[in-house]
Structure 1
């Protein structure tokens, strides 16, 4: 039995990946307080004091089933929380209430310096910029495909024409609907003829297509590195998970060290990297998801990913 210091888990109601970690923490006897900012009100109460003693009363969180002194938290697993939209209020009142929640509850949590964050939301946000990722990958000596980010259609056409094959990717995955139909943005190959003046509206990411033999998803948890080879005939393997084959691999030592250093520059304790491997066995950096999904990989490979997160959240380090 571990000492009675809870792990706070911030996530949405239906999060199978978080459930896997919580199950492992429960097995170890580690107290868990699960909450979602969207439940503020009857489902979530937070209080914090500043400039008042005793210091132990500085922060408190209550859910319908749990209570925690925030200063006692050993770790915060910032998984997939959602923020309230307040649909019962007028649009102006809803925006006001949402801002008070984000900067009130969010501010109280961000101020915590005692617990280990996996990952701190401010660090996640900084690492979520793809241009920043690509520049950092280059600085660390990782192979980066030729990439152009622009809203200049002439420059985009010139870039596409200069390479054998080019794909277009979104700069950030964003859930939205068009005429009531959910829109999903996949990586797509693009030709110079397809580029028109609509490119001027927002920046676009164009990237040289790597002649890959496979994709690799790498999950880093603390100092533990899990690498999975993903084989398919798809340009974007996320299109069809049923068409994928998985195998566990070991990364070259220099690549593993570079990925650990990459996370360190952003102050992240965990992250999911997407790499592509070409016919010369070169590993190409594609992107980092600082809070990527990994649950399905554990199910297919048996890798102890949930246990690694439990190690990190409980002990502050991985075995």
Structure 2
């Protein structure tokens, strides 16, 4: 009889990540080994030793990479990694160094640590950061959604105020969104951008400074947040009466719903297109029950939805990671 499977799942995230905590608790419950670490701790309790080629290294037969990754409480053998859960890692800031040394050290950590993890050929990433980065572009998402036959509101990306004014004049009820959430601090206060209505008179020459996303407003009655984890699909209807439901979580109510088979399959196809095994989709529901594409978040938050609805989202992530293999869908 073979012994227990000691291959670890690497969970790469910051210390204060409640969502990752939920998944780790499930992994512990099913007896799957876990090594959790944050790249920001490199040199401060986190060490990496990776070996490539030559004689006398500790790589297993057929393995290209040997060595280990150590935290204050765990040691993970690199050649034995079962899966990588790439959640919300931070990178060291090296605040004690001058600017040139700080930039140099940061580059070495990224290429040394991330490069080694990429080299492992781990059978499963949730999700691979290079795939996540590619999928995080709203323009690429919009094009993929159109190709897949999803309902996509007419959308314009431009830095030409004339083009923007013509689009708003043609469609009337238009909203503005940022193309990428970006940390922004004004007078020491962190600012958050929301989807906002925009009119022609709101435009001026500052539009030329960067591309902006303008989109026809969906006449929605509710929102859908759909989490796909491998072959599992969890759909939650969010009622709020708000244009952007993120503005006020206290105003939200939740209902677990089933998606039409065609829509669930199409969302799975979207993930396959981007090489992802998990993702959170936002869609708007109109009065006819039709779902309109809004966006894909390759690494979206879902912990609060699991708490509000009781859906076994953390268990689905744990089962996927413990399987150590890309799901068939």
The two structures have a TM-score, normalised by structure 2, of 0.95
- Map of 1:51 onto structure 2: 53
Measured after TM superposition, the shift of residue 317 of structure 1 is: 6.0
Decide whether the 8 Å contact of 1:9 with 1:76 is kept in 2.
Answer: yes
Which sits farther off after the overlay, 109-118 or 136-145?
A: 109-118
CA distance in 1, matches of 2:119, 2:67: 10
Which sits farther off after the overlay, 44-53 or 184-193?
A: 44-53
Count of residues paired in the alignment: 319
Decide whether the 8 Å contact of 1:311 with 1:318 is kept in 2.
Answer: no
Decide whether the 8 Å contact of 2:277 with 2:327 is kept in 1.
Answer: no
SS of equivalent to 2:171: coil
Q: Which residue of 37, 41, 44 corresponds with 2:43?
A: 41
- Map of 1:25 onto structure 2: 27
Decide whether the 8 Å contact of 2:123 with 2:326 is kept in 1.
Answer: no
Decide whether the 8 Å contact of 1:48 with 1:108 is kept in 2.
Answer: yes
CA distance in 1, matches of 2:128, 2:38: 15
CA distance in 2, matches of 1:264, 1:2: 32
Equivalent residues in 2 for 1:202-241, closer than 5 Å: 202-241=210-249
Decide whether the 8 Å contact of 2:124 with 2:326 is kept in 1.
Answer: no
Decide whether the 8 Å contact of 2:277 with 2:326 is kept in 1.
Answer: no
CA distance in 1, matches of 2:203, 2:289: 32
Measured after TM superposition, the shift of residue 115 of structure 1 is: 3.3
Q: What CA deviation, in whole Å up to 9, does each residue of 1:66-103 have, x standing for no partner?
A: 00111101110001101111111111111111111111
SS of equivalent to 2:90: coil
Decide whether the 8 Å contact of 2:281 with 2:297 is kept in 1.
Answer: yes
- Map of 2:302 onto structure 1: 294
Measured after TM superposition, the shift of residue 233 of structure 1 is: 1.2
Measured after TM superposition, the shift of residue 200 of structure 1 is: 0.2
Q: What CA deviation, in whole Å up to 9, does each residue of 1:80-137 have, x standing for no partner?
A: 1011111111111111111111111111111121331000000000000000000000
Segments of 5+ residues of structure 2 without an aligned counterpart are none
- Map of 1:146 onto structure 2: 154
CA distance in 1, matches of 2:25, 2:292: 35
- Map of 2:197 onto structure 1: 189
SS of equivalent to 2:300: coil
Q: What CA deviation, in whole Å up to 9, does each residue of 1:193-230 have, x standing for no partner?
A: 10110000000000000000100000000010000000
The two structures have a TM-score, normalised by structure 1, of 0.97
* CA RMSD across the alignment: 1.3
Decide whether the 8 Å contact of 1:308 with 1:318 is kept in 2.
Answer: no
Which sits farther off after the overlay, 110-119 or 248-257?
A: 110-119
CA distance in 1, matches of 2:99, 2:223: 44
Measured after TM superposition, the shift of residue 42 of structure 1 is: 2.4
Measured after TM superposition, the shift of residue 54 of structure 1 is: 4.2
Measured after TM superposition, the shift of residue 318 of structure 1 is: 6.6
CA distance in 2, matches of 1:162, 1:171: 22
CA distance in 2, matches of 1:255, 1:112: 35
CA distance in 1, matches of 2:127, 2:34: 17
Segments of 5+ residues of structure 1 without an aligned counterpart are none
1:175 aligns with 2:179: no
